[in-house]
Amino acid sequence: MEQNKKNAKFSRVGIVLAAAGSAIGLGNIWRFPYMVGENGGSAFLLIYLLCVTFFGLPVVCAELFAGRNGLGRWALVRDMGVLAITIILGYYIQVAGWCIEFLLCSWHPIDPNHFAEFTTNPWHVFGLSAANILICVAVLLAGVKKGIERASKIMVPFLFVILMVMILHAYFLEGSHAGMRYLFQLDVSKITPQVILSALSQSFYSLSIGMGILVAYAGYMRRDQSLAGTSVLTIILDTLVAVLVGVVIFAIVFTFGINPEEGPGLVFVVLPMAFSGMHIGTWLQVLFFLLLALAALTSLVSMMEAVVSYLIERMHLSRTRAVALTSVVVTALVISVIIYPVLWDIFDRATALYLIPLGGLCFTIYVGWFCDRTQVLAQIAPARYRWVSRCIYGLIRYVAPIIILVIFINGIL
Ligand code: PHE
């Protein structure tokens, strides 16, 4: 393990971009808008932002700390995380495959039935998933520095450029004001325990936390880099993408009279319909699905890397063997989800609602209560920003664990 870590370190920017590349994914572009739609618009957004600040930030720091300093007797948390990631991969790869399909078709108007047609063809879906697995294998075999860092350095900035073009366009749409109102005009009556749990789980899902992904990445982080800086930047980038995508999507939704509560099909069924009615719709459609496919890919790479580095450290496999084993297991899972589609919902709920918040909770308890306080404070931020370290430490030790537990119990009862 030591060798694995010594050989490759992310640069300062590299770790932020890699963490952001992992965080920014289908969770922001596909899942976030329909969660907003299903959970009361602005009410969900407000709770989401609070969750990101008060629970997301401490969990990101705690995970990075655990990754840098080891989990000791708490290694089980990482085992649970790797289990969650593997389960998520079973369906995430499929959605990533849909993105490639839509990207390939996006040069022409897409028939609204296209989604239903190709997703019921198991070979088609499998072929697309396999393509994604192969791309990930290539990046992972290239290693941390040449593979993950380089891929993230290209893809993440590109993603922002695409998003900016879309925002500019959305601004001039007729429904942009209604969309903004839906997202930003607060309606407190819509806040329920279920909305709060959904926002919490969405914030963790979107930041890729609670599963040990950052534990894996922190192993490749320089020792002198502060945890708070890396965490804050990652969180800002991830949240920015989610909110900006929300602005674009709801501007389109309200311009074309689409129901915001459309659910998981929102992006794949509804948006192409809207694009086909737009002036430069084809171009926007190409850009949008390119954005989606790239974001999905960087997240996929991070998930597979978490499993691979776990196998290297825990089972002392070589990188090549670990990558091979991971791809075989993941392919088997993808096939089972294709054959038994009910597994999809079970996988999504089991991970997003239960395993991930539970993982986050464990990381904060471990770092807040079982690690050396001076060490944690020193690594969170440099000595001159002592107050930052103190605030974040307070969140890690008291606020995050207690509130996550309360929300969790309230939401499942
Ligand atoms: N955060 C990623 C997204 O928003 C999803 C993800 C979940 C990535 C779990 C890694 C682990 O799409």
Instruction: Kindly compute the dihedral angle of the four CA atoms of residues 113, 119, 120, 125, in this order, to the nearest 10 degrees.
Output: 150
The answer to whether the CB of 203 is under 6 A from ligand 1 is: no
- Token pair, residue 254, equals 């309200």
Question: Which of 89, 148, 299 gets mutated to test ligand 1 (max ligand atoms within 8 A of its CB)?
Answer: 299
Helix ranges, 71-192 (H):
75-105, 114-119, 122-142, 150-171, 176-184
Residue 380: how many CA atoms within 13 Å on its side-chain side?
A: 27
- pTM, rounded to two decimals: 0.86
């949240």: which residue's tokens?
239
What is residue 100's predicted lDDT score, i.e. its pLDDT?
Answer: 93
* pLDDT of 50: 95
62: tokens are 């705690």
Q: How far is the CA of 299 from the centre of ligand 1 (A)?
A: 6
Residue 356 Cα: closest atom of ligand 1? 9
Q: 205: Cβ below 6 Å to ligand 1?
A: yes
Return the sign of the alpha-carbon dihedral for residues 236, 239, 244, 247: negative
Ligand 1 close to Cβ of residue 239 (< 6 A): no
Q: Per residue of the chain (413 residues), give pLDDT as tens.
A: 444 444 567 888 888 888 888 898 889 888 898 889 888 889 999 999 999 999 999 999 999 999 999 888 898 999 999 999 999 999 999 999 999 999 999 988 888 788 888 888 999 999 999 999 999 999 888 877 676 777 778 877 888 888 888 888 888 888 899 989 988 988 888 888 888 888 988 999 899 899 988 988 888 888 888 999 999 999 999 999 999 999 988 898 888 888 887 777 778 887 787 787 777 778 888 888 888 888 898 889 889 988 998 999 889 999 999 999 999 999 999 999 999 989 988 888 888 888 898 999 999 999 999 999 999 999 999 989 999 999 999 999 999 999 889 877 876 66
Tell me, what's the pLDDT at 7?
A: 54
d(CA 232, CA 336): 38
Contact 364, 62 (CB under 8 A): yes
The answer to whether 155 and 294 have CB atoms below 8 angstroms apart is yes
Non-local CB neighbours of 361 within 8 Å, separated by 6+ positions: 210, 400, 401, 404, 405, 408
Q: Is the Cβ atom of 81 under 6 angstroms away from ligand 1?
A: no
pLDDT of residue 5: 46
Q: Is the CB of 176 under 6 A from ligand 1?
A: no
Q: Which residues make Cβ contacts (< 8 Å) with residue 318, sequence separation at least 6?
A: 312
145: part of which helix (H) or strand (E)? none
DSSP string for residues in 33-58: HHHHHHTTTHHHHHHHHHHIIIIIHH
pLDDT on residue 4: 47
Q: Is the CB of 298 under 6 A from ligand 1?
A: no
The residue nearest atom 7 of ligand 1, judged by CA position, is 208
Interior CA angle at 388 toward 211 and 43, to 5°? 60
For residue 6, the model assigns a pLDDT of 46
Instruction: Tell me which residue has its CA closest to atom 11 in ligand 1.
Output: 208
Among the atoms of ligand 1, which is closest to the Cα of residue 302? 10
pLDDT at 413: 67
Query: 86 CB under 6 A from ligand 1?
Result: no
- Tens of pLDDT, residues 354-402: 889 899 999 999 999 999 999 999 999 998 999 999 999 999 999 999 9
Q: Is the CB of 26 under 6 A from ligand 1?
A: yes
